[in-house]
Structure 1
Amino acid sequence: MDPNPLPSRFLQLKREIISMATGEHLISAWGDLLQEVAKRTDEIIQQGHDSIPQVNFSDLDALSSEQIDAIKRRGSVVIRGVVDSTEAAQWKSDLVEFINNNPHAPGSFPEGDKQFFHLYWTPSQVRARAHPNVLKANAWLNKLYHFKSGKGADGVDLSVPLVYADRFRIRHPGVQWDAFPPHVDGGTIERWEDRNLRRCFQDILAGNWRAHDPYELEHRLDARSSLYGRPDQASVFRTFQGWLALSETAPTQGTLKVFPDVVISNAYIMLRPFFRPVVPLDDPTILDPKNWELDTSTPDFPGIIPWNTGFIGPRPTPELHPHLRLDKTMTSVPKVYPGDMVFWHCDVVHSVEQEHTGANDSAVIYIPAMPQTPQNLAYVQRQAEAFLAGVNPPDFGQSMEGVTYVGLAVESDIKEPAGRLAMGLPIQVA
């Protein structure tokens, strides 16, 4: 029996969605998809780290169409040399000093040895987000998205990057992390439950998964990725998740892992709830399409887990999502250096390595790419109020009452117009 059963109302949701396509069409699409998944997973396993594109920041405006297509298909990229390595390394030193000056700063992983910090307004973070090269990289990524109609939408400007304040980590070697298994951000059950977010995957759910475009903007603009208000669940539209490296980090040293094919993983995860195996999960023939059947009688959405008043996930696992072969296809990003940035599409399956076998800290500041849209701009304005008050951003757990920190960033730390615009601050500094 499922130890985390979903509410029975999700059976009706599943039936509502499946009514939009014939069962025969979905069964045919599922079989076609599984054949393609088998092919792509073989390729990913063979390519290893080479399946993740790597480009230089200085070359962003001169990449070939083939390079851009590879980035879009993989849904992930390493951008080298976004920030000067010395400056990035200094930001890490400053973060260590901030933590030493504020031993009460909240953090986790593991208990008694804080390494993942729930801090948002340290000078290092604020300056990194406002760095002109970081903003340029974010805008470049935002512009990989498009409107199929070509008409655009009021209030949307992909060339204007906005700041989404997130946390940072300084991970110590030799300490195991189990908190970030393979998962997808940007909506949990909302991917099916919210009508606008669901429309982003309408081709998949209609049985036409090959027509799915993960870079089409229209329905993402009004999608609600946080229906239940769970803390740490983003309510904005981020084109790419990302982080800025403050130290050298290589595979096996606590770095990021991704499933490097956003189209295939989207199609599989979105269709998986509508099919169930007819053999045990540990049966050696589990991957055979003939051993799966349409499921319209259970509320199951594999990988979606009830959590407090909301849900977490999708969390695909080798058992529940066997065709993705996650034990072999989750691919560590290549070695990075201070000032490099790593980005992954908001739908990409990703995780953090459990082991850190290196000799030094693995430190990053989380900086996603977020374009100017009406929804995002409204959030940034609320976020700016939180910054000026020195409290946590709206999407995150609220600050403890009465807690103060020594050395938080202030408004005057953001001087350049682009950085102030991205933070929702007035351009003229008083």
Structure 2
Amino acid sequence: MPPHFVELKKEIAASYPNFQERVTKAWTSLLAELAEETDLIAKEGTSVRLLLLFVIRVSALISICTPQIIPQVQFSEIASLKPEVVDTIKRRGCVVIKDVVDDSEAAGWKSSLEKYIKENPTVPGFPAEDKQFFQLYWTRPQVQARAHPNVLATSTWLNQMYHVKGNTTLEGVDLSTPLTYADRFRIRHPGVQWDVHPPHVDGGSIERWQDETFRTCFADILAGDFQKHDPYDLEGRVNARSSLYGRPGQSTVLRTFQGWLALSETAPTEGTLKVFPDVLLSNAYIILRPFFTAKSTPVTSNPLDAENWEYNISTSDFPGIFPRDGGFTGPRPNPNSHPHMRLDETMTSVPKVKPGDMVFWHCDVVHSVEQEHTGKGDSAVMYIPAVPYTPQNAAYVQKQKDTFLASVPPPDFPKHEGEATYAGGGRETDVVSAVGRVAMGLPIAVA
């Protein structure tokens, strides 16, 4: 990392009274809580993995192997969930929402996407020899899915999990008006090894520490009071700069939750999403990790023991952050850089989904994609996050609208010639509902 990041650490340390003393005490408490929580997560994951091995050939029994630590709810029930269920979703930072879209409609979108790819064999995607992840944004199924009333209602419900401390309001923010962020889709084939999405966090890399506004989202952690950290406090996030370096593929908008819509049945071990299901502790650990290093001479035999770690701001390292494309990528925690997360044991696969189900994870949640796909069918999803109406997001949507009308990649994504020459692309007339058109920045009346 650049040498001047030593000064960034010193700047942060100088911003909080008694920083070294308070974060050292917090670090010790945090590691104790992480030890308990990772034991719980690992135990849950181990029981699921063992059961999967036992019944892997009995598809009718796969449903009993779903990790219960990840909440599952019905779309029809989201408006009436008990507060304790919502609290669990917020702490885990992830949720599976069943039956958001009718099965047949979602399966039909997959068929349409497959037809689109077949009719346009030069569409960009990877791997080049067997394309499965597509750099496409404006196919008709994608445009229709983002504008689907149930998808937008789900986005609104998730956005409204956020709040401002003291129940005050923020100028120009409307959590009841969802916006659309155009992203891509995948149709992953069985039997293919996939190692391009290891554990990581999107929506801001070194910016989490470097941008002063973004840093306020983690002020309680940096003040040594990580238990008070609220991942759903909206205030600092509204104007946070998550892309200081203009790196292609780095989101510049606030996505309260990232998400995807299932277009096929996918179960654990079949190329699905994995998460570290505790957004509070993972945030605290990732934010404090740059200020601590392992002692060269261990005090105890347990490398995870807090006694074997010490406060240190003399290096420029921000573990899990890496230079890339003129900017930085990450956080990408791994067992070496973030050992206390025990990622080899705690990254948990989401439960089985079917077409029309949606999976969402908080914008700070550590997530990955399973390397193996042991199933018999495709693992197909459209990426559709939850995006609230904020001045910064609305400004992006206006620029995104222009790229939609021109059939070129959205502003945050790598540039290529676009999709205008491909047959079967989405058009403005495919966005019919008023809420869908507002979400896309289009005039309410269809031209």
**Pairing 1:354–2:371 present:** yes
Contact 1:233–1:396, Cα closer than 8 Å, also in 2:
yes
Q: Match of 2:83?
A: 65
Q: How much has 1:404 moved relative to structure 2?
A: 2.1
Task: Note the 1:226-237 alignment, pairs <5 A.
Answer: 226-237=243-254
- Aligned mates of 2:140, 2:273 — CA distance in 1: 25
Change (3 A) 1:403 1:138: closer
CA distance in 2, matches of 1:66, 1:160: 25
State whether residues 407 and 418 of structure 2, in contact with CA within 8 Å, keep that contact through their aligned partners in structure 1. Answer: no
TM-aligned CA deviation for residue 401 of structure 1 = 7.2
Matches of 1:177 and 1:363, distance apart in 2: 14
Q: Which moved more, 1:145-154 or 1:68-77?
A: 145-154
Per the alignment, in what secondary structure is the counterpart of residue 339 of structure 1? coil
Alignment of 1:11 onto 2:11: no
**Match status 1:33 vs 2:51:** no
The aligned residue for residue 3 of structure 1 is: none
Pairwise CA distance, 1:47: 2.7
1:149 Cα deviation from its structure 2 partner? 2.4
CA deviation string 1:394-418 (max 9, x = no partner):
0001122797211111100101100
Q: Decide whether the 8 Å contact of 2:408 with 2:419 is kept in 1.
A: no
On the 8 A contact 1:21/1:207 being kept in 2, the answer is no
TM-score (norm 1): 0.97
Task: Give a deviation string over 1:125-181, Cα, whole Å, max 9, x none.
Answer: 000000000000000000000010212111111011000000000000000011000
Q: Compute the displacement of 1:279 (Å).
A: 4.3
Residue deviations 1:329-358 (CA, integer Å, cap 9, x gap): 000000000000000000000000000000
- 145, 151, 161: which one aligns with 2:178: 161
Per-residue deviation, 1:46: 2.2
The whole-number CA distance in structure 1 between the counterparts of 2:168 and 2:283 is: 26
Counterpart of 2:74 in structure 1 is 56
Q: Structure 1 unaligned runs (5+)?
A: 1-5
Q: Which amino acid letter does the alignment assign opposite residue 429 of structure 1?
A: V
Distance between the aligned counterparts of 2:216 and 2:419, measured in 1? 43
Contact kept, 8 Å, 1:239 with 1:346, in 2: the verdict is yes
Q: Displacement, 1:308?
A: 1.9
- Kept in 2, the 8 Å contact 1:240–1:345? The answer is yes
CA distance in 2, matches of 1:93, 1:280: 59
Q: Hey, what's the Cα distance between the residues in 1 that align with 2:161 and 2:282?
A: 19
Is 1:80 paired with 2:75? no
Deviations 1:366-413 (CA, angstroms, capped at 9, x unpaired) = 000000000000000100010001111000011227972111111001
Task: Tell me which residue corresponds to 1:141.
Answer: 158
Q: Which letter does structure 1 place at the counterpart of 2:351?
A: P
Which of 89, 101, 108 is the matching residue for 1:90?
108
Q: Of 326, 330, 353, which residue of structure 2 is paired with 1:309?
A: 326
Q: 2:117 aligns with which of 95, 99, 117?
A: 99
One-letter code of the match for 2:39?
A: D
User: Equivalents in 2 of 1:270, 1:14: separation in Å?
Assistant: 11
- Unpaired runs of 5+ residues, structure 2, are 46-66
Range 398-407 or range 291-300, more displaced = 398-407
Distance 1:377 1:107 in 2: 29
The answer to whether 1:396 aligns with 2:413 is yes
Provide the rounded CA distance (Å) in 1 between the counterparts of 2:122 and 2:9. Answer: 46
Among residues 289, 301, 307, which one is paired with 1:272 in the alignment? 289
Calculate the TM-score normalised by the size of structure 2: 0.93
Residue of structure 2 in register with 1:190 after alignment = 207
Count of matched residue pairs: 423
Equivalent residues of 1:21, 1:205 under 8 A apart: no
Give yes or no for contact 2:23–2:223 (8 Å, CA) kept in 1.
yes
Q: Aligned residue for 2:422?
A: 405
For residue 96 of structure 2, what is the amino acid of its counterpart? V
8 Å contact 1:279–1:286 — kept in the other structure?
no
CA contact 2:407–2:419 (8 Å) conserved in 1: no
CA-to-partner distance for each residue in 1:234-282, whole Å, 9 max, x for gaps? 000000000000000000000000000000000000000000001489x
Give CA-to-partner distance per residue, 1:296-338, whole Å, 9 cap, x none. Answer: 1101100000012001100000111000000000000000000
Aligned AA (1:288): D
User: Deviation of residue 111 (structure 1)?
Assistant: 3.6
**RMSD over aligned Cα atoms:** 1.3
Determine what percentage of the aligned residue pairs are the same residue.
63
SS at match of 1:149: helix
> Would you say 1:414 and 2:431 are equivalent positions?
yes
